[in-house]
Each structure stands twice: as C-alpha cells, then as structure tokens.
Structure 1
Amino acid sequence: MRSDFKRAVRLLEEGRAAEALALALARQLAASSDEDRRLDGFLCLGYVYEDGDADLEPDYDKSLDSFRRASLIAPHGVTFLNLARVSLKRREYAAALRFLDISAGYELSPETLLGYGYYFEELVPADTDQAKSYFLRAALRGRFAGFFGYARAARASGQHGRALMMDCARIVSGPFIALAIGARATFQF
C-alpha cells in the first residue's frame, strides 16, 4: 500500500493526476465490500494494466487476473471478451478461443464476431478465410472495425480487389450506419 502511495505522489508531481487517480480509484473499488463497486474496480484495473501508459508498462498477467476476477463476479459475454482480448495479446490462442466461445455462449454480439476475426487473423498460421467471414458478419451488423478487418485480411491473402470493394462499401454505407446505430458502430473487440 505504501508503494502505491509513493507512486501516486510521483505521478501527481509529474502532472499525471488522471493516471494516479485511475489506478488508486480502481484499487479502492476492487477492495470494496459492494459487489458492483468491486466489479467496476476489477474492470478498471484490467484496462489500466492492459493498456499501460508512459510510466506504467502493460502487465498482461495482472490484466488477465483482474478480468478473471470480474468474470467471477459478473459472468457475461463482455467480461469474457476482455479475457479473450488479453489472451490474444499474450499469444495464448487456445485460451483466447475458449474465452471467445464462452462469450458467444452468452451472446453472439458484433464485438464477439470481431474477436473471432482477430483470432483467426492472428492465429499461426493465419486462417484469412475464417477471419474474413467473421469480419464480414461484424460489418453487416454495423461495426466499422469489421469493414477494416475484412479489407486487411483480404489484402493479406492477396485479394486486393475484394479489399477495395470493402473499403468502398464502408465509405458509401458509413454515414447511414452512423445515423442508424450511432456510436455503437465504432465499438471494438
């Protein structure tokens, strides 16, 4: 606890109050006796450790642990998507697929489709046909990341014409998608 205080003071002295506050607040919430506050705290800690900052290196082990604790409090598709995303960053493909499958069991959301697309795109060796399929399904459900992912996977497999067609479809349909579903169109995996 004392090292957290020293770190927070150092961050404050460097003019990075937002980061110090986020880390301190997340730890305080995670220690709460209120289950909702603990859930918020573990999610915040998971995001902080996943993304890191100039003074805080990403720590995927701590991030995975925080998201795992959140999934125990509130098992839901979103909490398992967080676990899948961090597992992909750790290049633990079997765990990532397991968490994606659990998330899909709760709800096959467009974000879950994006997760499958990234999984098949990053798998060694990559399965670009499967990746394109999932990215296309996410794009058809209004996620811009699906358009970008499909075009990227098509280019990686040498299908530049399909990539160009997807880019054109995104440009033409983009304003209509944004009007129809708003900010959800920008949601990521």
Structure 2
Amino acid sequence: MLLPAELAWYVTGRFYLDDKKENNLADYGYFLHLAGIDQAQLFAGKLGEGTACFTFAAVPFTAGGVSNGNLRLSVDPVGEFSIYLQRTPVSDFDDPLSFAQGERIATFRRASMVVGTTVDNADGHALVASNVFSARLVDSKPFTLGGRDYDIAQLLPVGVTQFGTAAGAPITPTPKGYQKVAAFTGSAIALA
C-alpha cells in the first residue's frame, strides 16, 4: 500500500470529442508508471501505446463549460474509468476503444465534478489546458503477472488525486468518428 500523497502513477493519453454527440468526451491511454508494478512488466517492448500492458478507458461523458476572459473552463460530471491489463498489447490511438481491451483490473469513480482550465492566446487559440480530480476505487480484481500476485485495492485502497496537463493544439489527422483529439499527461498521488 502506498502512503498518502505518494506517487501512484504517470499516464499519457488522449481526449476524444465525439463528432456525433455534442460535447461527448472520453479519454483513453496507458500507464508510464504504476506504483507497485515492476517497470519491466509495464511494456512488452519499446515504450509506446502499442506495447503498453496497462491501459485505461473512461466511460464517455458530456462536458459543459464557461468562459472567463482568456480562460475556458470545462466542467465534467462525476464519471468512471477503468484500468486494463493487456497481456498481449493491442492499443492504438487511432482506435481509442482498443485501450479498453484485456482484463479489467480496477474501476475508479471521480469523487466530484472536474473543472479543467484552458488558457487561450490573444487570437483565441488554446495554448495549454490543465485539470485536477480525485477518484475513489470502486472495484478491483486480483491478477498475476510475472509470477507475482497484485491487486490495485492493496496498492491504492482509497483512490487517487490526479493532476493533468493537455496540449492546446489538437492532434491531426483526427481519427474517424471524432471531431477533435488532444494529448495529455497525468500524475496521480495516493489518497489517504
């Protein structure tokens, strides 16, 4: 078990804005570090989404927002995301649902709404975005990897607080079915 405020994970991923449903977002990605798991077990080859053994996928949600000068605030509702163990990695940012493959080993629920902040330049173009949220562990399934037994409930019994930073410029080309995609990174600490 991690101590309160000890580093729990580093992730990288992308936010996907659906092109059919207004303000419908989801985020998908993978773990660069997951406390308690041997670093050699995180990837089946060179670092990248296609070799990541631990991935995450959010349940899509509808975001709202408000502006304050050159700040745009997104307001996301309480929602869930899950961690997956991909023994044979298949993830690809061009196919975001590929991050929700494998064994679901944990599910977290954001403890409250999430307020994200995007800073625009004088021309109204996004420079950078950030957010912070806490998420409680709501489900965990023990698993064995590399001859060792693990359980996210033992590593993070309460949950995490994650601090995120997203790129202001969207990724192009955008995968089919999405109107906008933005890359992000997140760092999480353990809750007490």
Q: Same fold (TM over 0.5)?
A: no
**What TM-score do the two structures reach when normalised by structure 1?**
0.20
Rg (Cα) greater in structure: 1
